[in-house]
Chain A
Amino acid sequence: MTGSAGGAVPQVRALICPNCGGTVNLRGYAQTLNAVCGNCNTILDTRTPTVTILQTFQTKQRIQPLIPLGSRGKLDGAEYEVIGFQARETASDGITYQWREYLLYNPYRGYRYLTEYDGHWNDAKTIPMLPEFGKSGRKEAASVNGKLFTHFQTAEAQTVYVLGEFPWQVRVGEKVTAKDYINPPEMLSAEITEGEVVWTVAEYTDGKALWSGFKLAGQPPQPQGIYANQPSPSKGRIASVWGMFFKLTVLLFAVMLVLLAIERNEVVFQQNYTFTSHAQGEPSFVTPVFELKGRTAAVQVKIDTDLDNNWAHFNFALINEETGNAYDFGREVSYYAGRDSDGSWTEGSRSGSVTIPGVPAGRYYLRVEPEMDENSPSMRYASQAMSYTLSVKHGAPNMIWFVIAFFLLLIPPIVVTARTIGFENKRWAESDYGSPLASLSSGGNDD
């Protein structure tokens, strides 16, 4: 070791506990101000030439740090050693929550913390700047380096157990106000005491990565529930999944336009007819044969009538002359109009169409069976007949497939969005703001 004009070369020290005579190893050199004798739960002042007792505390049970004191591992590319440990508690609605904080030390780079709650780990460092305060929606917010953190909760935290050593004063029973702001996977926290406010930024950290980094045996505890700054597994995907939906919809629309342009959409048959409801004989008839050419495509049968305040129903069969294959379908057309206090109105349409997808080429004819309301006023007193035009188009693209495809495309973005909302609801249920549902119902009770 090189000598130093600063006096003693830093060496790992050991103290004898004045309370129980046990040995207390110091890993933090002369930086250490308080050290705990784990043997008799005594906090010692390591700065005084004769080690003095600062506090002897009672504890219900000794808490074993999951990462033992003295463990070393790399964080941000530098090695750190666990030198201190404390358990803290906060009470909310009669329930006590406890989390554990590990103090890490590097003799050049200083201190940082690992915190653990219910298997969720965070890697925290103090920040050199002061946050700026603002709002995020209706919640209080703080920004650091232009990054906005939304207030999550404020709680009073009490130290219930300490182990190891600290470069500042620690006592069991000591209380601080802890304010947490989140921007997952990061969390900004203020630890407020009478004399100062310490700001840290923590990053949500995978327990498994810590276990391998600190070369620990076994497995880290399985995380329970959702932690305040735990990144949502689907959040980053919302934008991409909606972006993909938008691209695919544009593509679908383009395909639709191309199909509309290239399909033949040819009128293969058109004829005017008159239907009289009280006429004698069978109302059904067949059309002349028409030819559907080219490849299998949709057939559109269109009806244009002169209905007035009446309805008509058409039963159709599109029959292949050669094979006898028939497509049966029906269509109702109704049109009503009038005047009332609000002015004139109309309902329905004089026209209608039916599209039959996937009709192979061949020679076809239509069997048509019209039917009308014989008791309607128009039938009894006015015109006795309905004129109509039937037209048959071949190659008419069937829009229903595009509509179905559109709704299928909507499924992934909706599922991802719903999952994200569910995750965020669970996250915020643990905050000072409760879940959105809880706040709705409590708002309702206030009325």
Chain B
Amino acid sequence: MSQPAANCPNCGAPIQFRWSSGVQTTCEYCKSILVRTDVDLKKVGEVADLPLDASPIQIGTEGAYNNKPFTVIGRIIYEYDQGNWNEWHIVFSDGASGWLSDAQLEYAISFLAPQKAPPKETVYRGSSLTFDKQYQVTSITKAHYAGVQGELPFEYWDKADVTFADMRTSTADFGTIDYSEEPGLLFLGRVVEYDDLKLKNVRQFEGWS
């Protein structure tokens, strides 16, 4: 599934997609946001300086979920009044794509779900929503897009404020609805412990192992 190399339309640096279904990527050299078209790459924007963050995860980090290995290939960073969090884009060896979120070192893995998300106005904290299981909305967060990095499965850049509805179940299932578009995008998955992810190639922190 190796993709033919292309060049950054802005600076000419070689650009290679690690994932065949990647739609958007960033140029590591000039920080251009590039979107794949039928014929070539198009520059759609530029990444501002990413906010400082101390996530142990980085592009290239490898791990496993349900015994299936995955690699981190991109991320979206959001900021809200309590700091920021990362939605790391992960791809599995079978090509499936999912998200590893790291919010103040609380981790969850989720996948775009086929169910329809309820309209934003009908969802509040405490709402009970039934998809594959019964979820309860634990928080409604107004965040704003603070940057992207690497490969994403869709065009996602320069967004303004985004509302998220986070959900939990009594059995540690996790769900989130991204209301950056209408209807919202539903992601379902599980809360995970750091040690269960068996991560490799993580960032190093001086004095910590």
Q: Which residues of A are interface residues toward B (Cβ below 8 A)?
A: 1-2, 4-12, 28-31, 33, 47, 78-79, 106-111, 126-132, 144, 167-169, 195-197
Bound CA–CA A5/B54 (angstroms) = 12
- Tell me the smallest distance from the CB of B122 to a CB of chain A, in Å: 19
A131 to B207, CA, bound (A): 37
Please state if B105 and A111 are interface contacts (CB–CB under 8 Å). Answer: yes
* B98 interface residue per 8 A CB criterion: no
Report yes or no: B104 in contact with A108, Cβ–Cβ below 8 A: no
Q: What's the nearest-Cβ distance from chain B to residue A69, in Å?
A: 15
User: What are 9 A-B residue pairs whose CB atoms fall within 8 Å in the complex?
Assistant: A5-B150, A7-B52, A9-B203, A9-B204, A10-B205, A31-B83, A79-B208, A110-B106, A167-B104
Q: Does B206 contact A (CB under 8 A)?
A: yes
The 3 lowest CB-CB distance pairs between A and B, nearest first, are A110-B105, A128-B191, A29-B54
Closest to A107 in B: B205
Complex: how many Å from CA A130 to CA B49? 37
Distance of A130 Cα from B134 Cα, bound (Å): 11
Complex Cα–Cα for A128 and B167 (A): 11
A31-B104 contact, Cβ under 8 Å, with A5-B59, A47-B83, A130-B136: yes
- Give the distance to chain B from A215, nearest Cβ to Cβ, in Å: 16
Question: Which residues of B7-49 have CB atoms within 8 Å of chain A's CB atoms?
Answer: 28, 49
Closest Cβ of chain A to B138, distance in Å, is 7
- A108-B208, A109-B105, A130-B170 are contacts. A4–B52 as well, Cβ < 8 Å? no
CA distance A167 to B104 in the complex (A): 7
Instruction: Confirm or deny: B180 has a beta carbon within 8 angstroms of a beta carbon on chain A.
Output: no
8 Å CB contact of A6 from B50, B83, B168: B50
B195 close to A (CB within 8 Å):
yes
- Note all chain A residues with C-beta closer than 8 A to B163: none
B52 in contact with A8 (CB, 8 Å):
yes
Residue of A nearest to B195 (CB): A109
- Determine the interface band of chain B, counting residues with CB < 8 A from chain A: 35 or more
Bound state CA distance, A126 and B138, in angstroms? 14
**Least Cβ distance of B135 to chain A in Å?**
9
Q: How far is the CA of A181 from the CA of B168 in the complex (A)?
A: 20
- Which residues of the partner chain B approach A131 to less than 8 Å between Cβ atoms? 170
- Interface residues of B: mostly helix, strand, loop or mixed? loop
Contacts of A33 in B (CB 8 A): 82-83
Q: Could you tell me the distance between the alpha carbons of A129 and B193 in the complex, rounded to whole angstroms?
A: 12
Q: Mark B187-209, 1 if CB is under 8 A from A, else 0.
A: 00001011100000011111110
In the bound complex, residues from chain A placing their C-beta under 8 Å from that of B28 are 5
Which residues of chain B are within 8 angstroms of A196 by Cβ–Cβ distance? 125, 138-139
Neighbouring B residues of A78 by C-beta, 8 Å: 195
Contact A6 B172 (CB under 8 A): no
- Least CB separation from A7: chain B residue: B50
State in angstroms the CA–CA spacing of A1 and B203 once bound together. Answer: 8
A47, B52: Cα distance in complex, Å: 9
A425 to chain B, nearest CB (A): 32
**Shortest Cβ distance from B106 into chain A, in angstroms?**
6
The residues of A that contact B83 with a CB separation of less than 8 Å are 31, 33, 47, 167-168
Q: Which residues of B contact A144 (CB under 8 A)?
A: 170
**B53 is contacted by which of A2, A30, A106, A111 (Cβ under 8 Å)?**
A30
* A2: chain B residues within 8 A (beta carbon): 203-204
Chain B residues with CB under 8 A of A108: 56, 105, 194, 202, 205, 208
Determine if B69 is an interface residue (Cβ-Cβ < 8 Å). no
Contacts of A9 in B (CB 8 A): 203-204
Q: Report the separation of the CA atoms of residues A28 and B205 in the bound assembly, to the nearest whole angstrom.
A: 10
CA distance A78 to B194 in the complex (A): 11
Do residues A130 and B169 form an inter-chain contact, with CB atoms below 8 A?
yes
Chain A contacts of B60 at CB under 8 A? Answer: 5
Contacts of B53 in A (CB 8 A): 6-7, 30-31
- Asked whether B204 lies within 8 Å of A1 as measured between CB atoms, the reply is yes
Give the one of B51, B55, B136, B174 with max A CB within 10 A.
B55
CB <8 Å contact, A195 and B139? yes
> Is A111's CB under 8 angstroms from B104's CB?
yes
Chain A residues within an 8 Å CB radius of B54: 10, 28-31, 107
> What distance in Å separates the Cβ of B57 from its nearest Cβ neighbour in chain A?
8
Q: Once the chains bind, are A126 and B206 in contact (CB under 8 Å)?
A: no
- A197 nearest CB across to chain B (Å): 7
Q: Which of B58, B59, B139 has most chain A Cβ within 10 Å?
A: B58
**What residues of B have a CB within 8 angstroms of the CB of A128 in the complex?**
106, 168, 172, 174, 191
Known pairs A5-B60, A107-B54; list 15 more (Cβ under 8 Å): A4-B58, A4-B203, A5-B28, A5-B59, A6-B50, A6-B58, A9-B204, A10-B54, A30-B51, A79-B208, A109-B194, A110-B104, A128-B106, A129-B170, A130-B168
- B170 partner residues in chain A, CB cutoff 8 A: 129-132, 144
Inter-subunit contact A12/B150 (CB<8 Å):
no
**How many angstroms from the CA of A11 to the CA of B104 in the assembled complex?**
17
